[in-house]
């Protein structure tokens, strides 16, 4: 089964339609780091990361990984070794911090965009994560918590997402 992003504010999976938000500058086939656009294509999903200190392990067929304070996602366009990968935070590497004070990354699933042999500067840290107000993102997809929890019960490691 495939999750389909029908338009800028509707994610469809099976019989479910979820309100969502995307990148502030819309969609693109030519993603560039920092362009605030959501990449177009068909992608697989990563593991589910969650804040164990705030939530119990959720019901899902995805592998669940608790988020630790030292976890980050490298968005450093000068770092070929770690670009667009999960890292242990180091001061000399630019990164997106996963253990946040707000709620947005209480649950997140990386979308496997630019992850196999990542191209520097072509975009990183594209996630499905939480929102309360559907504000536009820097390229991610967001869902409200109740919808996110429904979606993760339905998907598995073979599920794809189609963004167009």
**46 pLDDT tier (thresholds 50, 70, 90):** very high
Mean pLDDT of the chain: 97
Query: Which three-class secondary structure state does DSSP give residue 58?
Result: coil
Alpha-carbon dihedral sign for residues 69, 75, 80, 84: positive
Query: Which three-class secondary structure state does DSSP give residue 12?
Result: strand
Average pLDDT in the 101-119 region?
97
Could you tell me the two tokens for 21? Answer: 């938000």
pLDDT tens-digit series, residues 69-89: 999 999 999 999 999 999 999
Q: With 90 as the cut, is the pLDDT of residue 91 above it?
A: no
Could you tell me the two tokens for 151? Answer: 């979606």
**68 pLDDT tier (thresholds 50, 70, 90):** very high
For the chain, the first-to-last Cα distance in angstroms comes to 16
Place of tokens 């770690």: 82
Contact 80, 120 (CB under 8 A): yes
Query: Which three-class secondary structure state does DSSP give residue 44?
Result: strand
- Domain range for 61 is 2-163
pLDDT tens-digit series, residues 127-162: 999 999 999 999 999 999 999 999 999 999 999 999
Question: Which helix (H) or strand (E) covers residue 153, if one does?
Answer: helix 145-154
Could you tell me the two tokens for 9? Answer: 């504010």
Average pLDDT in the 95-117 region?
97
CA 85 from centre of chain: 12
C-alpha to C-alpha distance for 29 and 88, rounded to whole angstroms: 30
Q: What is the CATH number of the domain that holds 83?
A: 2.40.440
**17 pLDDT tier (thresholds 50, 70, 90):** very high
Closest Cα partner for 46 from 128, 141, 142, 154?
Answer: 128
| Burial status of residue 122 (CB atoms within 10 A of its CB: 0-12, 13-18, 19 or more) | middle
Q: With 90 as the cut, is the pLDDT of residue 114 above it?
A: yes
Q: How many domains does the chain have?
A: 1
């Amino acid at each position: 089964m495939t999750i389909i992003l029908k338009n800028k504010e509707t994610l469809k999976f099976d019989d479910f339609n979820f309100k969502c938000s995307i990148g502030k500058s819309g969609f693109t086939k030519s993603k560039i780091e920092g362009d605030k656009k959501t990449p177009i294509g068909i992608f697989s999903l990563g593991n589910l990361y969650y804040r164990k200190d705030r939530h119990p392990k959720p019901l899902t067929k995805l592998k669940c990984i608790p988020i630790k304070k030292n976890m980050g996602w490298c968005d450093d366009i000068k770092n070929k070794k770690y670009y667009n990968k999960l890292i242990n935070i180091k001061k000399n590497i630019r990164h997106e911090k996963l253990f946040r004070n707000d709620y947005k990354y209480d649950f997140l699933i990386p979308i496997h965009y630019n992850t196999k042999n990542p191209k520097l500067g072509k975009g990183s840290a594209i996630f499905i994560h939480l929102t309360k107000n559907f504000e536009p993102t820097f390229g991610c997809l967001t869902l409200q918590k109740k919808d996110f929890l429904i979606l993760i019960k339905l998907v598995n490691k073979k599920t794809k997402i189609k963004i167009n």
